[in-house]
Structure 1
């Protein structure tokens, strides 16, 4: 007798099929990205360049200075934003919550633009100190946004998930207005750089960007995975969670701080890429279920694929002109958000 699909692939075992499939599709996107462009290369050319065999200056420049940093940064950014989105949705118990929708991206972006404005005349913004300091400014801006949102969205001393989205949209609009005001105070060169960065463009990716965000990712992502069971418990009603002896407020603060730190690290080097934290967790839940020990890594892989694919589409479909990855993902994300909004009302 033929078993139903749900019995053939139980949710707790489906991850062993989903993860290799996501990695294979991502590798296919990486293959296309590294071999195609204004300067086409074969697989043999790429392999010889990576292994330093009969390498030419042109191939070395294209692979190591232009294409590979951009691909790696897109993958790391998508991985971080996907995990952060799953954590924020878990903490707020709201499937429509997203770092962009809640104003976290806007707060972090505002702080980074403020850093650019204040220190552009005194610091080398392409130096190591700037790359290290920008995520810290982003973290401060993101935490300011979270503090405002949690304060305004409380009802009778508790977080109201229904008010969360409305408050987040309002706070995001406010931070966006401040960001625009700050950017208008810049000189023309800095304003152009800030505008490109805010659009979520990865065309200026380099190894310093990767080195600046990688420690955050290596520290925070395992911590959030370790807290996966706590996130599972937080999906229960507050009364049930408190009866289990869990300090609800303390755990939420810890998880939100870690998620905002992850978002800040990604935003500071890749710009305002939105909707990844909204879409990736929803796709991951359909693939592997609700348990966060499985949900978080799969959300990261889905986010990795989204940003990598968005960057590939942006740099090839309008070639030789390039469209920022953040814009491509937004074109997909807005209809998906509307779909989720209507679905939540049914």
Structure 2
């Protein structure tokens, strides 16, 4: 890696972490109940703890911030992997229907256990990502089947097929949710729009475990994504088993997305925006794009969640709506740029 390129990479990465810390600071200290920064420090360090501060920070704000960060990190990385596999800058877990597939499986889980799940039991929390994985895999299988042309995955058909698959799974989710009892229907409705308002420490465990297992695999195989950009024929000529490697990377990205969707609902556009911002900042090499995409996604979700819970207070918007307000214009811009 050239010295200037390495310096730029580390500058961007450190700046991203500083922005994330600033977003965490703003989210911890501001809200319906403002807390001074010194009181936050005293609470975190257990210096003369205050019961009210403990409740606000440890029960409401901190778990929400941690989950928002993990979800943003995972979706940013998954988006970078999917764009690398498909060689399509418009690929995104939400647009390709993977979010919808994972979501439909989780709604099925809610439907068959309606009235029996509380949303915080370990059984439901650990089982939901597994159901999400099955749904995400199902969506990916359909996408592969209908996007396959002449023995290859056709990037041009991928977007259209993904939108169709996402719409189908979305319709299934809506149909099942209408048959739920009122309590589970309310939970499902909030979850559909992408929200982490009900975050607690138990939700962190499954997401963290999946990220710890899958992200290192993705980073280790990041060079495969670089080779795939040269074309599958060239990558094969260089000794890469392209179909095998694409399947491994696809499974990793689906697992990451499924774990994120299981605790945050369907948050779109993070996986679309974060990789593009990363490539503009540090270039196209995926060993750098993937970590920066994760940090950019982390910042986007944390700051969007803060906006969602404060701007229209006491009414709280789902974080998915806030990110969509940013993502839809950016998606239109990318479509226009691709067409031109």
CA displacement, residues 201-231 of structure 1 (integer Å, 9 cap, x when unaligned): 1111000000121100111111100111111
Which of 258, 282, 286 pairs up with 2:280? Answer: 286
Which of 76, 85, 95 pairs up with 2:70? Answer: 76
Q: Does 1:172 align with 2:166?
A: yes
Question: Which residue of 2 is the match for residue 140 of structure 1?
Answer: 134
Find the aligned partners of 2:333 and 2:6 in 1 and give their Cα distance.
Answer: 28
Question: Which residue of 2 is the match for residue 3 of structure 1?
Answer: none
Find the aligned partners of 1:184 and 1:220 in 2 and give their Cα distance.
Answer: 35
CA displacement, residues 108-157 of structure 1 (integer Å, 9 cap, x when unaligned): 00000110111234444321111111000000000100000011011111
Find the aligned partners of 1:246 and 1:206 in 2 and give their Cα distance.
Answer: 43
In the TM superposition, residue 320 of structure 1 has moved relative to its aligned partner by 1.1
Paired residues in the alignment total: 339
C-alpha distance 189-122 of structure 1, shift in aligned 2 (>3 A)? closer
- Give unpaired runs (5+ residues) of structure 1: 1-6
Q: Does 1:206 align with 2:190?
A: no
Which of 46, 50, 60 pairs up with 1:52? Answer: 46
Q: Does 1:247 align with 2:241?
A: yes
In the TM superposition, residue 13 of structure 1 has moved relative to its aligned partner by 2.5
- SS in structure 1 at match of 2:184: helix
| Alpha-carbon contact 2:110-2:117 (below 8 Å) kept | no
- Give unpaired runs (5+ residues) of structure 2: none
**What is the TM-score with the length of structure 2 in the denominator?**
0.98
Find the aligned partners of 2:172 and 2:7 in 1 and give their Cα distance.
Answer: 47
| Alpha-carbon contact 2:27-2:61 (below 8 Å) kept | yes
Question: Which residue of 1 is the match for residue 120 of structure 2?
Answer: 126
In the TM superposition, residue 248 of structure 1 has moved relative to its aligned partner by 1.1
CA displacement, residues 66-117 of structure 1 (integer Å, 9 cap, x when unaligned): 0000011101100000000000000111110000000000000000011011
| Alpha-carbon contact 1:116-1:125 (below 8 Å) kept | no
Question: Which residue of 2 is the match for residue 117 of structure 1?
Answer: 111
Find the aligned partners of 1:319 and 1:92 in 2 and give their Cα distance.
Answer: 41
Superposed counterparts of 1:171-320, under 5 Å: 171-320=165-314
Question: Which residue of 1 is the match for residue 92 of structure 2?
Answer: 98
| Alpha-carbon contact 2:114-2:180 (below 8 Å) kept | no
Report the RMSD for the aligned CA atoms in angstroms. Answer: 1.2
